[in-house]
Amino acid sequence: MESFTEKVVSIISKIPSGKVMTYGQIAKCAGSPRGARQVVRILHSMSQKYKLPWHRVINAKGEIGIKTEEGSIDQKMLLEGEGIVFLPNSKVDLTVYRYEPPLQDNGE
Per-residue pLDDT of the chain (108 residues; tens, 9 = 90+): 579 999 999 999 999 999 999 999 999 999 999 999 999 999 999 999 999 999 999 999 999 998 899 999 999 999 999 999 999 999 999 999 999 998 755 544
Flag whether 105 is in a domain.
no
Contacts 24+ apart (CB under 8 A), 23-32: 23/57, 23/58, 23/59, 23/60, 23/65, 24/60, 25/60, 25/98, 26/57, 29/101, 29/105, 29/106, 29/107, 29/108, 30/4, 30/106, 30/107, 31/4, 31/7, 31/107, 32/4
Flag whether 74 is in a domain.
yes
Residue 28: domain span: 4-100
pLDDT at 105: 53
pLDDT at 108: 46
Q: Quick check: pTM over 0.75? A: yes
Flag whether 107 is in a domain.
no
